[in-house]
Amino acid sequence: MDLLGNLALVFVAGLVTALATGLGAVPFFLVDDVGDRWNVILWGLASGIMVSASLFGLLMEGLAEGTIGDVVPGLVAGVVLVVVSHRVISGVELHPRKYEEADYRKLVLILGVLTVHSFPEGVAVGVSFADLNIGQGPAVLGFTIPLLAVFMTVAISIHNVPEGVAISIPLRAMGVSKWKMVWWAVFSSLPQPVGAVLAFYFVRTAREFLPAGFGFAAGAMIYLVAAEFVPEALETGADLPGGGRRELVGGIAAGVVLMTPLAFV
């Protein structure tokens, strides 16, 4: 399969993860509000999934491709890039309410900020496809897809659902239509397929950097969980009994169990 076909498949996988963000708006088709308890559980589930996918998938794959000395610099770089990126945009107030009110120029700015926010997830998807058509895995439409890529695409997709919920809540309060809520949720993750394609192209053309690439994606994911997902869950569950910690831990445990098979494939 030629490079263009491979890039197209990786783009589709990244697009699937972006579309999954729209699922966060689906509950509002059925109910007027999503309770804090369920929000905390979803953030915990996403956290458990992302940490497990990073440890059992990305880091183990990186160590299989190289040494710990090859992986660690990439891991550190992933953390540093996310930290620096977030500091760069720390003065930019980005709230879903602004999506609906923005003109074209502001939407371009918003998309730029969202690129910084969601790009690492796309990178994780792209890196996981590094052995597309050159390794083992299930055959789909003429492609041999690595199992790690399947797990990462599913993991990022599940992770995007609570983000979609978080985006939809303030839009719902504004009276934004349900289908527009779906669109804005998907819009927030549109940089992911671009990040997936760029990361895949890089590791395919510079295979010597593949272990560092796995480390980079894992570092970014683990840092995002520690710095964003868990604090977001605790803030959401502040008014719940025990501050929502029971729901958070339960969600994390469920996410870990869901991704544990990745350690054995």
Q: How far is Cα 125 from Cα 159, in angstroms, rounded to an integer?
A: 12
pLDDT tens, residue by residue, 219-259: 998 998 898 889 988 998 888 899 999 999 999 999 888 88
In tens, the pLDDT along 23-76 reads 988 888 887 777 888 888 988 988 998 898 888 889 998 998 889 999 999 999
Domain span holding position 145: 3-26+33-264
Q: What is the mean pLDDT of the chain?
A: 85
Decide if 40 contacts 236 (C-beta within 8 A).
yes
Model confidence band, residue 218 (pLDDT cutoffs 50, 70, 90): very high
Give the percent of the chain with pLDDT over 90: 32
Per the structure, the count of domains in the chain is: 1
Residue 3's pLDDT is 81
Yes or no: say if 226 and 87 are a contact pair by the CB < 8 Å rule: no
Whether 230 and 47 have beta carbons less than 8 Å apart is answered as yes
Q: Which two tokens stand for residue 180?
A: 């527009």
Per-residue pLDDT at 129 exceeds 90:
yes
* CA distances in angstroms from 139 to 36, 54, 109, 124, 144, listed in the order given: 41, 24, 40, 21, 4
Per the CB < 8 A criterion, the answer to whether 262 and 52 are in contact is yes
**Predicted confidence band at 142 (pLDDT cuts at 50, 70, 90)?**
confident
Which residue did the predictor score with more confidence, 164 or 85? 164
| pLDDT recorded at residue 63 | 92
Confidence band, pLDDT 50/70/90 cuts, at residue 195? very high
Tell me the pLDDT band of 184, cut-offs 50, 70 and 90: confident
Give percent of the chain above pLDDT 70. 88
Instruction: Tell me how far apart the alpha carbons of residues 42 and 37 are, in angstroms, rounded to a whole number.
Output: 9
- At 35 the pLDDT is 80
Angle at 41 between CA 40 and CA 47, to 5 degrees: 90
pLDDT at 125: 93
Q: Is the pLDDT of residue 202 over 60?
A: yes
